[in-house]
Amino acid sequence: MSIPGLTIIGESINDSVPSTRALYESNDMAGVLALARCQDERGAAYIDVNVGSRSPEWMAELVRQIQTVTSKPLSIDTPDPAIAAAGLTAYDPAIAGGASPILNSISLRRLGMFELVKIRPFRPILLISESAEGSCHTTEETVSAAHQMLALAHTAGIANSDCIFDPGIAPLGSDSEGNLVRLIAAMRRLHADATFAGVHFSVGMSNFTVMLPAKQRKSGGAVKGPLESAFLTRAMPLGLDMVIGSVKRTYSLLPDDHPAMQCVDDCLATSGFDSIKRIRKFYTA
């Protein structure tokens, strides 16, 4: 399923997944718990729990129910402080062998989430693709956001080893603004900075290929999985060691001459619509 040194946060229990939303809407708790068991059995180190805009009580009950079928720690995934507070309150670290939950996520636009550490210690995913004013469009803005977030985490009593930075990964198939270039350049800067020693980096892996066709290339081979593996091949040496991803995906490190590696490398060397055209050339070849 995975690459040694890469921690998978299982992504399936998320309101943005249509099949999971259908389980929520039909109140099919057995179906949701089956997803938790499956991800546990297939190697997820954490189980993500996202209830969309449903109530804090729904989140609390879902956390309690999921912890009856898995001892893996959970990732409480919401931008809403009340929903996050309910999930953290319901979470029982003893069931997870004392492991703290992840809180996904905190950004410079919702710093009040740090106050939730008073409920229970957690490992925050720190979103550094946002500044206090809006999205980060440059490497410099992303690096600046990371420094600010790390300082605030320290103020909240959170050590480097519990900080998980998310530089924000955008769909490759529509990346006309150089997001991939920004992300890799920012990770390279932060990985080389001793201030960030011991921190973790994570992305929502499925976001990278979400707009690409779920089909085979004409020349043979899948489209999405190899491109995700190519990204990991370039990003893991820069400190990426966690992803929110699918336990059904087989991630691997690829050789430089793999077509997906050549595609991702070309995208890192180009910009604008040339990058989008290069992606199209890959999946139609």
- Tell me whether residue 39 is in a domain: yes
How many other CB atoms sit within 10 Å of the CB of residue 80? Answer: 18
CATH of the domain at 115: 3.20.20.20
Instruction: Give 18's pLDDT tier (boundaries 50, 70, 90).
Output: very high
Q: Is the pLDDT of residue 1 over 90?
A: no
Question: Average of pLDDT values for 260-282?
Answer: 95
Average pLDDT, the chain: 96
- Tell me whether residue 1 is in a domain: no
- Tell me whether residue 30 is in a domain: yes
- Tell me whether residue 33 is in a domain: yes
Residues in Cβ contact with 2 at an 8 Å cutoff, skipping those fewer than 6 apart: 8, 43, 251
- The DSSP output letter for 248 is T
Which structural domain range is residue 34 located in?
Answer: 7-284
Tokens of 273: 């619509």
Query: What does residue 9 show for φ and ψ, rounded to 5 degrees?
Result: -100, 110
- Which residue matches tokens 């550490």? 117
Domains identified in the chain, total number: 1
* Residue 108 contacts residue 145 (beta carbons within 8 Å): yes
Question: Average of pLDDT values for 8-16?
Answer: 98
SS3 221: coil
Stretch (H or E) spanning 77: strand 74-77
- Tell me whether residue 89 is in a domain: yes
pTM value > 0.85: yes
Q: Given this model, what pLDDT does residue 220 score?
A: 86
Q: Is the pLDDT of residue 2 over 90?
A: no
Cα of 270 vs its chain's centroid, Å? 25
Q: Is the pLDDT of residue 51 over 70?
A: yes
Q: What is the CA radius of gyration of the chain?
A: 19
- Tell me whether residue 115 is in a domain: yes
SS3 46: strand
pLDDT in tens, 138-187: 999 999 999 999 999 999 999 999 999 999 999 999 999 999 999 999 99
- Tell me whether residue 20 is in a domain: yes
Distance CA 229, CA 251 (A): 5
- Tell me whether residue 227 is in a domain: yes
Diameter over CA atoms, the chain: 55
Of the candidates 221, 220, 234, the one whose C-alpha atom is nearest the C-alpha of residue 262 is 234
Tokens of 163: 């900080």
Q: Determine if the peptide bond prior to 105 is cis (ω within 30°).
A: yes
- The DSSP output letter for 107 is -
